[in-house]
Amino acid sequence: MRAAAIGDKVFASAWRLIGVEGFEVSSEAEFSSTLMELIKKRKYSVIIIPESFLDYTENARKELLREERVEPVFVFVPEKGSRRRLEDLKRKISLAIGVSLGV
C-alpha cells in the first residue's frame, strides 16, 4: 500500500517526514489537477488531504463511485477550528435518513 499527501508546503512536508509521498499545492486548481493525476496513475491506495480541501474532492469521489473503484481511499485530516468534515458527514446522514440533523 502506498500513500500520498496533498496540501500546502507544511502539510506535505510533515507527511514526508514519516515516509508518505507529499505533493505541495498552492491553489484550488493545482489541488484538483494533482488529485486527478494521482487517481489516474492508480499508484496510491490512500490519499491524505487536509480538511480545508474537502469541497474540492467531491467530483473525484463521484468519479470513483461511477467507476466502482474502492481505491484510493481519501483520508481527511481535521484542522483546528474547522467543522467542514462534520458538516459534510451531517449532510450525508441527513440525506440517507431523510431528516435534517440539527447538531
Tens of pLDDT, residues 18-46: 999 999 999 999 999 999 999 999 999 99
Task: State residue 79's pLDDT score.
Answer: 78
What is each CA distance from 6 to 27, 69, 99, 101, in whole angstroms?
11, 20, 34, 31
Tell me if the pTM is above 0.75.
yes
Asked if residue 102 is part of any domain, the answer here is no
- What digits encode the pLDDT tens for the residues 47-89? 999 988 988 998 898 989 899 998 999 988 887 766 766 677 6
Asked if residue 103 is part of any domain, the answer here is no
pLDDT higher for 95 or 23?
A: 23
Q: Which domain holds residue 38?
A: 3-97
Domain count for the chain: 1
Residue for grid cell 462534520: 86
